Structure 1
Amino acid sequence: MAEGSNWVEIVLLAMLAAFIGLRLVSVLGKRTGHEPVPTDSFRPGSPELVAAPRSRAENSPRAEWKLPDGTDPALKPALAALMDVDPAFEPTRFITGAKAAYRMILEAFWSSNSGAMEGLVSEEVQENFAQAIEAREGARLQNRIISIDAATITAAELIGQMAEVTVRFVSRIAAPGDDTPAETADIWTFSRHITSPDPAWLLIATDAEA
């Protein structure tokens, strides 16, 4: 009898295990190997994890375009390469935005408001401007941009997934007490991650032409 009782217990346990297994499958579902990877809603996505955009050759053909005034024709292949990987990039439109950024950044610097540069410059450049403002003890400068006479692309390259474009600005700036505005030439480099949904370019380096 004891042996028969053991067999009955084994059969009952097997039936119970099968029932529990069926319930788990109905509640949790089966894994097929194609489930989406769980995401952490509190962790922003990393640019390195964003798929690179398809090249222009895989999308629609590039529209006709021309070099901005004053641009060295030798730069056309480099600019075309940027347009291939970043369909939002267009040299003439870029120059228009760069001139606006140039004006806003300088005016923020002169008014000792480095916070107004946020979203226009990299953290390193913003810190450099903030240090220069601190060195003059926060004094505001009464400089004014009279005109931006030229904004010319002098270099363009793709470094990994970072696009970099350098612009030479020639402007006339008036300072208090000066009868004639001074002509200045600045070399600024802008950068953008080509996979980022944010179309903004950040100023990453500045230099004054001797």
Structure 2
Amino acid sequence: MLEIILLAMVAAFLGLRLYSVLGRRAEHEEESVPQRPEENSMPPAAPQPAVPAAPARVVQMDGMMPAVERGIREIASADSKFDLAAFLEGAKGAYEMVLEAFWNGDRETLRELCDDDVYEGFDGAITAREEAGEKLDNSLVRIEETRIHSASLDGKLARIAVLFVADIAAVTRDKDGNVIAGSLDDAIESRDVWTFSRNVIDRDPNWVLDETDEG
């Protein structure tokens, strides 16, 4: 009788060990290999309310106007990879690159970063400058502020306008290099509202500049 009791205790102990090991293993494999419940298994826990997927890492929402916040949330819901912080950093970089490209007459870079209408505007201004024999010797001193101005989702087209407040030293030189306008010693404040757009179902993650305006 004692022998039977000892065997039962050993079996129970082994059973508990196996359950402990397999239970922990199942927790790690649950996401990749769904487990099919057995008839004799313990009843599953009560179902939890479905939690909607987080709309990427949308940050810096505090202080936004309701309409702007609503537009950002709509874009984030339509594009699960949208990240507001990353977008603002990209917009800031694009602002610097477009300004430098325009000042230097770099049409290739402008072609990559702008849509057709904006590119044609820049191209026309560069052409007029070249015909006059003038060159820009501008410098972006600093960007004081980068802030979402407006945001909207029209069908699959997301558009976000960004206000840039920057200090720019602007100088125009003639064909001989003489300064005919501006000064490198006196930076002026520039307030620009640039609108970037992107089709949210497009595989290309890049946004393009599709409108420029003064802030």
Fold-level match, TM-score > 0.5? yes
Distance in 2, Cα, partners of 1:205 & 1:69: 26
114-123 or 142-151: bigger deviation? 114-123
Measured against aligned partners, the alpha-carbon deviations of 1:48-69 in whole angstroms (never above 9, x if no partner) come to xxxxxxxxx9973335643268
What is the root-mean-square deviation in Å for CA atoms of aligned residues? Answer: 2.2
Matches for 1:67-82 after TM superposition, within 5 Å: 67=60, 71-72=64-65, 74-82=67-75
User: Could you say which residue in structure 1 is the equivalent of 2:124?
Assistant: 131
Match of 1:173 among 153, 161, 168: 168
Distance in 2, Cα, partners of 1:78 & 1:141: 37
Q: Give unmatched runs, 5+ long, in structure 2.
A: 1-49, 172-182
Task: Tell me which amino acid in the other structure corresponds to 2:127.
Answer: E
User: Could you say which residue in structure 1 is the equivalent of 2:208?
Assistant: 202
Query: Contact 2:144 / 2:165 at 8 angstroms: preserved in 1?
Result: yes
TM-score, normalised to structure 2's length? Answer: 0.65
Change beyond 3 A, Cα 1:64–1:158:
closer
Distance in 1, Cα, partners of 2:58 & 2:208: 24
Task: Tell me which amino acid in the other structure corresponds to 1:179.
Answer: D
User: Could you say which residue in structure 1 is the equivalent of 2:191?
Assistant: 185
Q: Give unmatched runs, 5+ long, in structure 1.
A: 1-56
Change beyond 3 A, Cα 1:113–1:175:
same
Structure 1: 4+ residue segments shifted above 6 A = none
Matches for 1:73-92 after TM superposition, within 5 Å: 74-92=67-85
2:143 is aligned with 1:148:
yes
Change beyond 3 A, Cα 1:206–1:105:
same
Secondary structure of 1:186's match? strand
Query: Contact 1:149 / 1:170 at 8 angstroms: preserved in 2?
Result: yes
Matches for 1:10-159 after TM superposition, within 5 Å: 60-62=53-55, 65-67=58-60, 71-72=64-65, 74-137=67-130, 139-159=134-154
Change beyond 3 A, Cα 1:63–1:90:
closer
Query: Contact 2:101 / 2:109 at 8 angstroms: preserved in 1?
Result: yes
Change beyond 3 A, Cα 1:117–1:64:
closer
Distance in 2, Cα, partners of 1:75 & 1:207: 18
The percent identity for this pair of structures is 37
